[in-house]
């Protein structure tokens, strides 16, 4: 029996020591959990309500100090075996019988007559002690801990979800930072395809102008054969898509990249682009430079192309000013309020329906472009 | 001595039973002072001297007489007054003429030469007389004219003092207070206790008729058994921590005390805790034993600061606070 006592008591003490350690750590979670909740919840609220925050940074800020604190606490607050024995004794309400017996067994003293009697009493109590220590329920987190964890999780969600502030800012079009933030998340397109799309639209405009002029001429000589219509039988009607434009749009639909029309010079210093086009608003990032990218003949001079530019309200979605490498599109509705089926008028009366898959920004760009075209007077030198 | 032989479970049980019998005997004569009787008995079995403080008429002298009666010990009483001389306590040489007609100086032993001495109103004696008494308490001997006279063993002094009659008194200095194992405050009894007291002691003094429940040999045996009670190292460490908490210059110590308890106080704490454990039927000292005995053991060993005294702070209240905090930390 004594040998059993010598084996069992140290084992019970070690178990109690581990429990004490975990209990101490649990008791010390109030401070780090408070920190975690405050940082996560407050940053989550700020992220959702006021300011777009860098989520990984705030997660690190919220998690790192508590983790360090608990690690240091775990090392420094590790209870001794004597403390474990004391805790077990207190829990068992053994009035130091457990503690005294454990000391005798742990230090392997030669027991005196009283100590032998004490060990005998301890041995008689041992089954009850084992039962009580084994049946001790595991520590459950208190309500405050549960509340803290819930708030921390809620804060994490708030921080992870995209902030409303970005959308609001983009809707109002006033926040340059918000646009920039969104441009990071937006889709990157192929700039060459975008320029090709502009050029295609250019060609359509020229064709329409020629067709309009021919229509005027035919109006003067109605018996002459109509020209400018590929079918030769169905002149373009208002509200319908011309066959040529229809073909181009079909082509664009097949090529998703080509649907993005917002254009910018690639590989250039963004500031340089803005400087070269002095007629644009300050901070201009995008411009149309058709001759440099395609080399195709166009009915306009380079100077005229340079006059076609985007204003600052529509440029930042298209260009990442930090990298200068990507053309981007947005899904933000444009200020013009044009839907995908809206028509853009070019020249005098001709109408051209643009691709339904264009983004509002792209439509605005093309709209402005065609307005410039319509104002162009070829009679002037 | 019984401690030298192999102790059995029945030895401890007998010691525990005897203590309970002694306690019951005292409780039959002193009503409404159960806590006081417990502590008095513990200090008595621990072999220490006892200082009783209380208002007149609360039964201090009666309690000492009852203890002497229940243990069958020879009892002597010294009533201290300012003109009491040391020789009146320790004894003196007197000229004796023997039957042969020769004269010689012979040492006549004073009242101190008794196993149990009641020193009433010890603070009325002069410091010189107090010093003589306290020297005997510490050394368990009296030296007179170069000759040492040992005091009986075991030897107990029970001193009483009145806390309110300060005029014409000589309060015991701290160094001499330290020689008392415990200082027990005799509280005013409750209403029910007063009524019970009337039933048993209106016309009679029960302590004078108390029959001994123990003899001296049995008493010594119980004291030896008490010394065998196991004190775990962790308990000793806790006692040291408690003692240091009364010191102003240690970490975690109180600032209300000018001086904390002495190492003798630590010994007293553990000695009394052992007997407290035995009275509870245990073979080992518990933290609760220390907590229960800390106040009577430490209260006369600490000295309040002037500021605390001026603030009307009581050393008992500070000690209670220290003990409570100490117990919660364990």
Residue listed under structure tokens 């403080």: B53
Query: In chain A, how many domains are there?
Result: 2
Q: ipTM, 2 decimals?
A: 0.87
Does one domain contain both A141 and A262? Answer: no
Contact residues of B toward A, CB < 8 A: 6-9, 12, 228-230, 232-235, 280, 282-288, 330
Does one domain contain both B53 and B159? Answer: yes
- Look at residues B172, B190, B208 and tell me which one is the last residue of a structural domain: B190
Name the residue facing B283 among A85, A103, A118 (closest C-beta): A118
Among all residues of chain A, which has the CA nearest to that of B228? A114
CATH assignment of the domain containing B87? 3.40.50.300
Does one domain contain both A44 and A94? Answer: yes
Whether residue B284 contacts residue A96, with contact meaning beta carbons closer than 8 Å, is answered with: yes
Does one domain contain both A17 and A63? Answer: yes
What letters, b where the CB count within 10 A reaches 16 and e where it falls short, cover A137-146?
eeeeeeeeee
Tokens of A93: 């309400």
Query: In chain B, how many domains are there?
Result: 2
**Residue A37 located in a structural domain:** yes
Through-space distance between the first and last CA atoms of chain A, rounded to whole angstroms: 117
**Contact between A117 and B284 using a beta-carbon 8 Å cutoff:** no
- Asked if A38 has any chain B CB less than 8 Å from its own CB, the reply is no
Residue A189 CB-half CA count within 13 A: 30
The C-alpha atoms of residue B257 and residue B246 are separated, in whole angstroms, by 7
Chain A 54-83, CB below 8 Å of chain B: which residues?
82
Mean pLDDT split into 10-residue runs, chain A, 381 residues: 83 90 81 81 78 75 82 84 92 93 85 90 93 73 77 80 64 54 51 76 87 80 46 43 46 46 42 41 39 43 43 43 44 42 41 56 79 68 52
Q: Can the peptide bond before residue B43 be classed as cis, meaning omega within 30 degrees of 0?
A: no
Does one domain contain both B35 and B182? Answer: yes
Does one domain contain both A285 and A220? Answer: yes
What letters, b where the CB count within 10 A reaches 16 and e where it falls short, cover B141-179?
ebebeeeebebbebbbbbbbbbeeeeeebbebeeebbbb
Name the residue facing B282 among A86, A95, A112 (closest C-beta): A95
Does one domain contain both B162 and B294? Answer: no
**Contact between B286 and A86 using a beta-carbon 8 Å cutoff:** no
Chain mean position to CA B241: 24
- Look at residues B190, B209, B242 and tell me which one is the last residue of a structural domain: B190
**Residue B12 located in a structural domain:** no
Name the residue facing A117 among B12, B234, B280 (closest C-beta): B12
Q: How far is A123 from chain B (nearest CA, A)?
A: 14
**Residue B210 located in a structural domain:** no
Residue by residue, what is the 3-state secondary structure of A329-349?
CCCCCCCCCCCCCCEEECCCC
**Residue B297 located in a structural domain:** yes
Interface test with A, best of B3, B8, B234 (most A CBs within 10 A): B234
Tokens of B156: 């107990």
**Residue B14 located in a structural domain:** no
**Residue B21 located in a structural domain:** no
- The boundaries of the domain holding residue B121 are 30-190
Which spans in chain A are helix H?
Answer: 2-27, 30-49, 55-76, 81-92, 97-106, 113-134, 143-160, 164-172, 176-185, 191-220, 243-254, 270-276, 290-293, 302-307, 360-375
Judging contacts by C-beta atoms under 8 Å, the chain A residues touching residue B7 are 113-114, 117
Q: At what angle do helices A97-106 and A2-27 cross, to 10 degrees?
A: 110
- The boundaries of the domain holding residue A331 are 181-375
**Residue A195 located in a structural domain:** yes
Tokens of A78: 């590790």
Q: How far is B243 from chain A (nearest CA, A)?
A: 20
**Contact between A97 and B282 using a beta-carbon 8 Å cutoff:** yes
Judging contacts by C-beta atoms under 8 Å, the chain B residues touching residue A120 are 9
Of the candidates A242, A226, A197, A210, the one whose C-alpha atom is nearest the C-alpha of residue A348 is: A210
Would residue B144 be called left, alpha or beta, if left means φ above 0 and alpha means ψ between -120 and 50 degrees?
Answer: beta
Residue listed under structure tokens 């502030």: A165
Q: How far is A33 from chain B (nearest CA, A)?
A: 24
pLDDT digits (tens, 9 = 90+) for A135-177: 766 666 677 778 888 888 888 777 777 766 665 655 655 445 5
pLDDT digits (tens, 9 = 90+) for B219-244: 999 999 999 999 999 999 999 999 99
- Look at residues A129, A160, A191 and tell me which one is the last residue of a structural domain: A160
Name the residue facing B230 among A82, A86, A115 (closest C-beta): A115
Length of chain A: 381
Does one domain contain both B79 and B184? Answer: yes
pLDDT of the residue at B96: 87
The C-alpha atoms of residue A238 and residue A219 are separated, in whole angstroms, by 17
Does one domain contain both A192 and A137? Answer: no
Does one domain contain both B49 and B113? Answer: yes
pLDDT digits (tens, 9 = 90+) for B121-174: 999 999 999 988 888 898 899 988 888 899 998 999 999 998 887 788 899 988
């Amino acid at each position: 029996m004594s040998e059993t006592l010598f084996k069992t008591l140290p084992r019970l003490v070690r178990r109690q020591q581990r429990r004490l350690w975990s209990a101490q750590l649990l008791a010390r979670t109030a401070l780090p959990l408070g920190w975690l909740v405050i940082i996560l919840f407050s940053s989550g609220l700020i992220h959702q309500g006021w300011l777009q925050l860098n989520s990984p940074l705030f997660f690190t800020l919220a998690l790192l100090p508590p983790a360090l604190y608990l690690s240091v606490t775990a090392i420094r607050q590790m209870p001794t075996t004597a403390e474990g024995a004391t805790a077990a004794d207190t829990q068992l309400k053994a009035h130091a019988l457990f503690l005294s017996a454990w000391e005798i067994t742990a230090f392997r003293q030669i027991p005196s007559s009283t100590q032998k009697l004490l060990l005998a009493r301890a041995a008689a109590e041992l089954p009850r002690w084992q039962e009580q220590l084994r049946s001790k329920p595991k520590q459950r987190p208190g309500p405050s801990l549960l509340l803290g964890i819930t708030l921390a999780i809620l804060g994490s969600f708030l921080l992870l979800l995209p902030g409303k502030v970005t959308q609001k800012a983009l809707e109002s079009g006033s926040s340059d930072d918000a646009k920039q933030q969104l441009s990071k998340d937006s889709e990157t397109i192929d700039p060459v395809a975008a320029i090709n799309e502009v050029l295609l639209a250019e060609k359509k405009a020229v064709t329409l102008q020629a067709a309009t002029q021919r229509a005027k001429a035919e109006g003067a000589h109605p018996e002459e054969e109509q020209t400018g219509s590929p079918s030769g039988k169905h002149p373009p009607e208002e509200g319908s898509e011309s066959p040529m434009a229809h073909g181009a749009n079909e082509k664009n639909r097949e090529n998703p990249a080509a649907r993005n029309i917002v254009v910018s010079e690639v590989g250039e210093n963004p500031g340089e682009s803005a400087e070269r086009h002095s007629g644009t608003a300050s901070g201009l990032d995008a411009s149309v430079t058709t001759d440099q990218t395609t080399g195709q003949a166009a009915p306009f001079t380079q100077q005229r192309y340079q006059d076609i530019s985007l204003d600052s309200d529509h440029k930042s979605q298209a260009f990442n000013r930090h990298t200068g490498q990507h053309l981007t599109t947005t899904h933000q509705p444009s200020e013009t309020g044009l839907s995908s089926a809206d028509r853009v008028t070019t020249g005098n009366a001709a109408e051209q329906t643009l691709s339904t898959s264009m983004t509002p920004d792209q439509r605005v760009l093309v709209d402005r472009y065609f307005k410039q075209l319509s104002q162009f007077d070829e009679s002037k030198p | 001595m019984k401690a030298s032989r192999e102790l059995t479970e029945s030895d401890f049980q007998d010691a525990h039973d005897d203590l309970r019998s002694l306690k019951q005997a005292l409780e039959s004569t002193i009503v409404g002072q159960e806590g006081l009787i417990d502590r008095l008995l513990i200090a008595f079995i621990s072999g220490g001297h006892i200082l009783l403080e209380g208002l007149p008429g609360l039964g201090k002298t009666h309690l000492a007489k009852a203890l002497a009666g229940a243990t069958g010990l020879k009892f002597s009483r010294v009533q201290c007054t300012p003109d009491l001389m040391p020789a009146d306590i320790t004894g003196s040489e007197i000229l004796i003429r023997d039957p042969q007609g020769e004269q010689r100086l012979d040492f006549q032993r004073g009242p101190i030469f008794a196993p149990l001495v009641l020193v009433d109103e010890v603070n009325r004696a002069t410091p010189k007389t107090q010093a003589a008494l306290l020297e005997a308490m510490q050394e368990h001997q009296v030296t007179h004219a170069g000759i040492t006279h040992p005091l009986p063993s075991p030897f107990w002094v029970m001193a009483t003092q009145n806390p309110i009659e300060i005029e014409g008194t000589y309060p015991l200095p701290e160094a001499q207070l330290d020689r008392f194992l415990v200082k027990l405050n005799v509280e005013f009894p409750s209403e029910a206790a007063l009524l019970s007291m009337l039933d048993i002691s209106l016309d009679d003094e029960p302590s004078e008729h108390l029959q001994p429940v123990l003899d001296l040999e049995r008493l010594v045996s119980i004291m030896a058994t008490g010394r065998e009670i196991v004190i775990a190292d962790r308990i000793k460490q806790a006692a040291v921590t408690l003692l240091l908490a009364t010191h102003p210059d240690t970490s975690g110590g109180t600032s209300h005390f000018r001086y904390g308890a002495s190492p003798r106080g630590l010994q007293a704490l553990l000695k009394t805790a052992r007997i407290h454990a035995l009275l509870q039927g245990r073979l080992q000292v518990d933290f609760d034993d220390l907590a229960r005995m800390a106040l009577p053991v430490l209260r006369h060993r600490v000295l309040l600061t002037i500021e605390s005294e001026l603030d009307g702070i009581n050393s008992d209240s500070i000690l209670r606070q220290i003990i409570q905090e100490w117990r919660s930390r364990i």
